Amino acid sequence: MPTVIATISLKGGVGKTTLTAGVAEFLSGEFGKHVLLIDLDAQTNLTTMMIGEDRWLRCNDQGHTLATLFGDALDGTNLFDLHKTVQRGVSPVHSVTGVDLLPSSLDLIELQEELSARRVAADDHAAIVDVLRTGVAPIAGDYDYILIDCPPNVGPFSLNGLAMADAYVIPTIPDVLSTYAIPHIQRQVADFGAEIGRTITELGVVVTKFRAASALHQETVHRLRRDPTIQNVLPAYLHEANVIGAAAGYTAHPSLSAKYGHHGHHEQFRRVAQSIMIEAEVKVGRS
């Protein structure tokens, strides 16, 4: 049975997608795990990071994206082909061979409004938020981890990701604006878990774009660690760096060291991935 982890933040620009992609690459390349990435964000950034724009366009033109799955749920059709949609071995890092992807689509923008309206009107709200879990179920057992990149809101796609997830992480830049919405996310996830009748475990806050020389960043991390409403701040941070920003581009690399190996950033990402694994093992009971 896989460990399913959603990455969610209500603030854009905090490195949510870069974190999700990098953790998947390190879980596979450094720890030997088989990982499925699910891109629920209509911006398609995770998708293009992992397979490039040309391959994404082919998937989109052929209907091999998650938009088809959600379109089926709305229209009562049966067009989604899971095995053709899942993209195998997607990382541009040649030494990473155990990461697969279910791609996103810009079409999710329009589908979100329709799904929201259906959720409000439906007698059985769980039927609308269970579309993803049901659609992915035939292959879920093939993976050690499933990582879900949620959009920066708690709309129907994020709810589908959370309904499938065992746990979630919250990436944040350590500043006032980025951390402001953390309690809101926690409340929303807790309320939704109560609605569907199970707990979605918070693994912790992941500090991203950290600047060690910044007094604001130092103080904000200290404040987060003292905050009784925040269950955990993971001990490993991702520092602000050009090499990590550049990881969002679809560029071939022979190894993770070649992609992230400048000034200790490879080891930072490795520690973040390892921290998430440890938290999942302790709090969810699977590794």
The phi-psi region of residue 227 (left if phi > 0; otherwise alpha if psi is between -120 and 50; otherwise beta) is: beta
Confidence of residue 244 (pLDDT cuts 50, 70, 90): low
What pLDDT, on the 0 to 100 scale, is given for residue 4? 98
Which helix H or strand E contains 75, and what residues bound it? helix 66-75
pLDDT of 169 over the 60 cut: yes
- What are the tens digits of pLDDT across the range 71-105? 999 999 999 999 999 999 999 999 999 999 999 99
> Could you tell me the CATH number of the domain that includes residue 42?
3.40.50.300
Q: Which domain holds residue 223?
A: 3-283
Residue 238 burial (CB count, 10 A): 23
- What are the tens digits of pLDDT across the range 24-58? 999 999 999 999 999 999 999 999 999 999 999 99
Confidence of residue 265 (pLDDT cuts 50, 70, 90): confident
Mean of per-residue pLDDT scores for the chain: 92
Q: At which residue do the structure tokens 């500090």 appear? A: 207
DSSP state of 21: H
Query: How many domains, the chain?
Result: 1
Residue 165 burial (CB count, 10 A): 27
Burial class (CB in 10 A: 0-12, 13-18, 19+), 56: buried
Angle at 34 between CA 78 and CA 12, to 5 degrees: 75
SS3 47: helix
Backbone angles phi, psi at 171, to 5 degrees: -80, 145
pTM over 0.75: yes
- What are the tens digits of pLDDT across the range 111-140? 998 888 887 776 666 668 999 999 999 999
